[in-house]
Structure 1
Amino acid sequence: MTRSKTIQLYLIDGVPKGRIKCTLANWTGIAYKIPRIELDKAKSIDYLKQSGVYFLFSTSDETQENIVYIGQAGNRKNGEGILNRLQEHKRNPDKDYWTEAVAFTTTNNAFGPTEISYLENQFTNLARDSKRYIVKNSNEPNLGHVTEEKESELEEFIDYTKIVIGSLGYRVFEPLIVDDSPSEFIEPSSKELLLYFKQKSRKSKKSIESSAKQTSEGIVLLKGSHIEIIDSTSIPEKIRKMRQKDNLVIDGILQENTLFTSPTYAAAFVIGGHINGKNAWKDEHGRSLNEIEKSE
């Protein structure tokens, strides 16, 4: 059973959109969320002069997809660690996309080159595996060589980091669904309702069968679902662009779990046109999502 956690968020500038200091009870780690435009104000934060790891966050102007870059910063001879590295990124024209940074270090300055290399590697792979963000790291970070004891310690730091960064609003490490196994093996639960879509397409004359999970974020269309490959003229523009994303749909089969904010958008993506998602999605008993919600 997951235990409750106490997180303390300190609004350094007194406003939610400003700089935020984040600590967790019984954890030596410490995190700072810093808007890019407020970076110069962070010079007085001594913890940011230490070694650590950091995340640069933004959203694509073209696709509205979330973007993250994950890096490490060692303590340099001039006494500037994480903050100096963030300032370098701010001056770099190739990294002008980010709008917010989240930096992690420790209250006892315990990280050396080996530790931050390990953390950067693990965080990058976790972010790629979750498939929620476009990970801008072009190279595979060096894992480094750590002892079994140190690895256990760093994995605990990673677990706490997941909690903190999620609490700050970034679900960069969270899988879209709890169970990522094929849909036919997924047992429906009260938290994540398993739904089905089945309809014969008037355009391709094919039977379109898809499955999805209702989560706290919306509807996750599951990998392996059948997708109508022909667009209707009534298809929403946002959905049309999503359907054109490279390698998302191959030969009418969805290649990865995909999150939608509403059941109607998920159904429109499947059928390639306008449709009422609350009527189209049904549970294993044939009840529509609309009927399920009315009965609750």
Structure 2
Amino acid sequence: MTQGRSIRLFLVDGTPNGLLTAEIINWTGHVLTGPRSKLAELVQRPECSRTGIYFLTGPDPDGSLRNQVYIGESDVVAQRLKQHNREEDQGGKDFWERVCLVTSKDLNLTKAHVKYLESALMQIARNAGHCIVVNGTAHEYANLPESDRADMAYFLEQIRIVLPALGFDFLREVTTPSQVKETLGLYSVTVSQSPVFELTSKSRSVKAFAQEIDGEFFVLKNSAASENWTSSPHSYQSLYNRIVSEGVLPPTGSGLRLFAMDYPFDSPSAAAAVVLGRPANGRKDWKVQDTAVTYGAWQDQQLEALKSPPDDLAPGNSP
């Protein structure tokens, strides 16, 4: 069983949309994040004069549903952030809206350390597939002594814990239904799995299967889907088109497409819409395999199965 973690957050200017720092107890790392509109204040912070790794995030200018991220490193992070704030034709970057930097409280991060972290984080972000990494090709940087690599492995593990908690999900590891456990550094994490759900459309000869893993709704590999988006324009149409363009839904030549891999969706309705090629209510359309129990009814059953507290511990009664 995985142990809990404590993350200490501090709102620098007392507002939720300003600068924020984050630390994990017993970790030497320090996280500072804020919007681009606060860059003038952020670069004056002492953290920005240190060696560190940084992330620039923002929407994709081409209109895809995924954000873009740039991962960089510097001996003096403030200088690099000022350069990135220039216009594109002056070597800057236009897309980013938020910045996050990770430094060390004990000042022990070296140039070699952050180059190693940059290389590893770029690879992790690309493999996770939650965002578009706008860096060039990542080169493996292994020029570190064995002891330093072990230290950086632990440092990297903490970054992957704290950043998703701050809303930066591009490093979040995806556990597919084909896995029952994932390994995160030195910790083994047991995942929660739902039953397998089925969606069938006789009129389109579509049959798809799905499973919920740790809050993400996965359509399973080899599930069938509509060959085209057949409804009027809808927000899910962009999702359908993106998944097709990424090669996740190759055509079969028989009027259908098949999922080439287990693919995660934010909701059962998004998954149902992509499968059917039209807007759909996933809470009703997905059913527990070989039953008539809908996804919504199955969720209700989970709540009803929770044990009620004893009468003597009910609200208003003293223990």
For residues 108-138 of structure 1, give each alpha carbon's deviation from its aligned partner in whole angstroms, at most 9, with x where no partner exists.
2212221111100111111111111111112
Q: Secondary structure at the match of 2:218?
A: strand
Where structure 1 has 5 or more consecutive residues not aligned to the other structure, the ranges are 75-80, 184-188
The amino acid that maps onto 1:149 is S
Aligned length: 280
Residue of structure 2 equivalent to 1:88: 83
89, 103, 122: which one pairs with 1:105?
A: 103
Q: Is this contact kept in 2: 1:195–1:281, CA < 8 A?
A: no
Whether 2:294 is the aligned partner of 1:293: answer no
C-alpha root-mean-square deviation of aligned residues, in Å? 2.3
For 1:263-274, list aligned pairs within 5 A: 263-274=268-279
Q: Is this contact kept in 2: 1:194–1:211, CA < 8 A?
A: no
Q: Is this contact kept in 1: 2:197–2:295, CA < 8 A?
A: no
Q: Is this contact kept in 2: 1:243–1:249, CA < 8 A?
A: no
Where structure 2 has 5 or more consecutive residues not aligned to the other structure, the ranges are 181-189, 252-256, 303-319
**Aligned-pair distance for 1:255?**
3.5
Residue of structure 2 equivalent to 1:241: 238
- Judged with a 3 Å threshold, the aligned counterparts in structure 2 of structure 1 residues 215 and 181 are, in CA distance, closer, same or farther, namely closer
Q: Is this contact kept in 2: 1:199–1:209, CA < 8 A?
A: yes
Residue of structure 2 equivalent to 1:225: 223
Q: Is this contact kept in 1: 2:197–2:288, CA < 8 A?
A: yes
Comparing 88-97 with 256-265, which one deviates more in the overlay?
A: 256-265
For 1:17-32, list aligned pairs within 5 A: 17-32=17-32
Residue of structure 1 equivalent to 2:10: 10
Residue of structure 1 equivalent to 2:313: none
Q: Is this contact kept in 2: 1:68–1:136, CA < 8 A?
A: yes
Q: Is this contact kept in 1: 2:221–2:262, CA < 8 A?
A: yes
- Judged with a 3 Å threshold, the aligned counterparts in structure 2 of structure 1 residues 127 and 43 are, in CA distance, closer, same or farther, namely closer
- 1:125, 1:41 → 2: CA distance? 31
The amino acid that maps onto 2:196 is L
**Aligned-pair distance for 1:210?**
1.9
Q: Is this contact kept in 2: 1:120–1:141, CA < 8 A?
A: no
- 2:6, 2:177 → 1: CA distance? 29
| TM-score, length of structure 1 as denominator length | 0.86
- 1:48, 1:29 → 2: CA distance? 13
Q: Secondary structure at the match of 2:170?
A: coil
Q: Is this contact kept in 2: 1:67–1:136, CA < 8 A?
A: yes
Q: Secondary structure at the match of 2:70?
A: strand
Residue of structure 1 equivalent to 2:51: 51
| TM-score, length of structure 2 as denominator length | 0.80
**Aligned-pair distance for 1:180?**
5.1
- Judged with a 3 Å threshold, the aligned counterparts in structure 2 of structure 1 residues 224 and 135 are, in CA distance, closer, same or farther, namely farther
- 1:42, 1:198 → 2: CA distance? 49
